[in-house]
Amino acid sequence: MSEKFQLVGSLLRPEALLKYKSEIEKRDDIIYPFYDAFEGYEACELEAIQTVVQEQIDHNIEIITDGEYSKSLWHLDFVWGLSGIERYIAEHGYFFRDKDEVENYETRKDVGLRIVDKLGGTNHHFIAIFEKLKAAAKGHSVKLCIPSPSHIFGELSWSDNIGGQDAVYNTTAELKAGLLGAYKEFFTDYAQAGGKIIQLDDCLWEMFADDNPNSPFTGEANNEAAATELATEFIELNNALIDFGHELGLKVWTHNCRGNYDSRNMGGGSYIKIASLFLKQLKYDRFFLEWDDERAGSLDALKVFQDRPNVEIVLGLLSSKTNTLDDEKRVIRLLDEASKIIDKERLLLSHQCGFASCDGGNELTEAEQWAKIDQGQRIAQAYWGK
């Protein structure tokens, strides 16, 4: 169909694979990638990846992923694969909202991260996954999705992993340097394995939007200077890795969203409030941004890209959270609006996020998922004609 329609990354997992994933989340006595702990798991995962790759090809997807079938959670599997990390079941999971009026909808709890040695990114399991993806894709372009270093730096630095008795890293500066070094090692291995596109997923930008009611940096206790300092630190960390990726010849993309778990979200915050920081300063080649509802605010945020002619913007105007087709008139209206700000040929279309950022997935069926993907293809074909 159209190269202008793109998948963010994740797709709904089949039941056979979910049976293994549901066992994984209950245990922290097993070692990633967990194949040795469950008979048949590795073969089941590979078969599922091969199947979903062919389904993407059949649905004319231009850039293929493994559906993130190799992951249990969108970001933590990558961290589990770093040397120096120990996974454990925490007292509570992450908290989501905006469905059934439940403000603290809790996720799975195997989200604890403990640094037990210097971080390293060589011999990462994701390289083996990439090799399987490449083989299954039969010459089609592929991408690998991993969390941004700033996102993981945020999670690790807000835990009890820094300082204290027997700490591996005594300061956030030490942690940041160690994490960046591990990411660079992974990037090097990925490029050597033939990787061309790497996507850094990131869900922390909206913390710094002062119209986000669910951020620790908003409200009466807001410390604008501290927020800007941390945001700058995140940007500099990501840009250091992006620059390194470019030196290796990689295309480095990003995806940003406000949370995506069981059709629920984690917060608000508009892009226009953070445009001069994250959109303007981050050196990504392509931005996947979400505009499926009103939380993201005005498309005027795109104006910061006007003087960056080589940057592509993927508008997440469609929703992966719902089980119904999207309002096509709304999508076309917003595409027209965006095209008045940014040249039409620099724009692409997607859903705001994947369909299963974590293994359980959003509340729709596989048939409904593919119908929504086919709708996206049709809209893009009609709009761009290619």
Q: How confident is the model at residue 218 (pLDDT cuts 50, 70, 90)?
A: low
Mean pLDDT in residue range 229-247: 97
Question: Cα–Cα distance between 14 and 359 in angstroms, integer?
Answer: 10
Looking at residue 217, its pLDDT comes to: 67
* Alpha-carbon torsion angle 35, 203, 256, 141, nearest 10: -10
Looking at residue 228, its pLDDT comes to: 87
Q: How confident is the model at residue 39 (pLDDT cuts 50, 70, 90)?
A: very high
Tell me which of 179-183, 260-264, 301-305 is least confident: 260-264
For 289, the domain range is 15-384
Residue 254 lies in a domain: yes
Between the CA of residue 383 and those of 33, 313, 336, 348, what are the distances in Å? 42, 16, 9, 10
pTM score of the predicted model: 0.95
Question: Cα–Cα distance between 300 and 246 in angstroms, integer?
Answer: 29
Q: How confident is the model at residue 262 (pLDDT cuts 50, 70, 90)?
A: low
Looking at residue 165, its pLDDT comes to: 85
Query: What phi-psi label fits residue 111: left (phi over 0), alpha (psi between -120 and 50 degrees) or beta?
Result: alpha
Residue 185 lies in a domain: yes
Mean pLDDT in residue range 182-188: 99
Element (H, E) at 173: helix 172-192
Residue 5 lies in a domain: no
Residue 4 lies in a domain: no
Looking at residue 263, its pLDDT comes to: 65
When divided into structural domains, the chain yields a total of: 1
128 Cβ contact partners less than 8 Å away, ≥ 6 residues apart: none
Looking at residue 209, its pLDDT comes to: 87
CATH for 26: 3.20.20.210
Question: Cα–Cα distance between 4 and 381 in angstroms, integer?
Answer: 8
Question: Cα–Cα distance between 328 and 320 in angstroms, integer?
Answer: 14
**175 phi/psi in degrees, rounded to 5:** -60, -45
The answer on pLDDT for 171 being more than 60 is yes
Element (H, E) at 47: helix 41-58
Q: How confident is the model at residue 243 (pLDDT cuts 50, 70, 90)?
A: very high
For residue 33, cis peptide bond before it (omega within 30 degrees of 0): yes
Question: Cα–Cα distance between 45 and 307 in angstroms, integer?
Answer: 44
- Sign of the Cα torsion 139, 346, 320, 92 reads positive
Question: Cα–Cα distance between 194 and 192 in angstroms, integer?
Answer: 5
Mean pLDDT in residue range 178-198: 98
Q: How confident is the model at residue 103 (pLDDT cuts 50, 70, 90)?
A: low
Question: Cα–Cα distance between 216 and 169 in angstroms, integer?
Answer: 25
Tens of pLDDT along 42-87? Answer: 999 999 999 999 999 999 999 999 999 999 999 999 999 999 999 9
Looking at residue 266, its pLDDT comes to: 66
**316 phi/psi in degrees, rounded to 5:** -85, 70
In the chain, what percentage of residues exceed pLDDT 90? 78
The answer on pLDDT for 335 being more than 90 is yes
Residues facing residue 199 across a β-bridge: 145, 253
Question: Cα–Cα distance between 220 and 211 in angstroms, integer?
Answer: 12
Q: Tokens 């908003």 correspond to what residue? A: 218
- Look up residue 269 and give its two tokens: 């915050």
The answer on pLDDT for 136 being more than 90 is yes
Tens of pLDDT along 206-217? Answer: 888 888 877 766
The answer on pLDDT for 223 being more than 90 is no
Q: 99 or 361: whose pLDDT is higher?
A: 361
Per-position DSSP letters for 56-118, written without gaps between them: HHHTT-SEE--TTTT-SBTTHHHHHTSEEEEEE--SS--EEBSSTT-S-EE--STTEEEEEEE
Between the CA of residue 77 and those of 34, 238, 284, what are the distances in Å? 11, 19, 23
Looking at residue 184, its pLDDT comes to: 99
Which candidate, 232, 120, 129, places its Cα nearest to that of 183?
Answer: 120
Q: How confident is the model at residue 246 (pLDDT cuts 50, 70, 90)?
A: very high
Longest dimension (CA), the chain: 62
Q: What integer best gives the mean pLDDT of the chain?
A: 93
273 DSSP 8-state letter: G
- As a 3-state breakdown, the chain gives helix, strand, coil percent values, each rounded to 5, of 40, 15, 40
Looking at residue 100, its pLDDT comes to: 58
Question: Could you tell me whether strands 286-290 and 312-318 are parallel, antiparallel, or unpaired per DSSP bridges?
Answer: parallel
Residue 330 lies in a domain: yes
The answer on pLDDT for 245 being more than 60 is yes
The answer on pLDDT for 259 being more than 90 is no
Mean pLDDT in residue range 298-327: 97
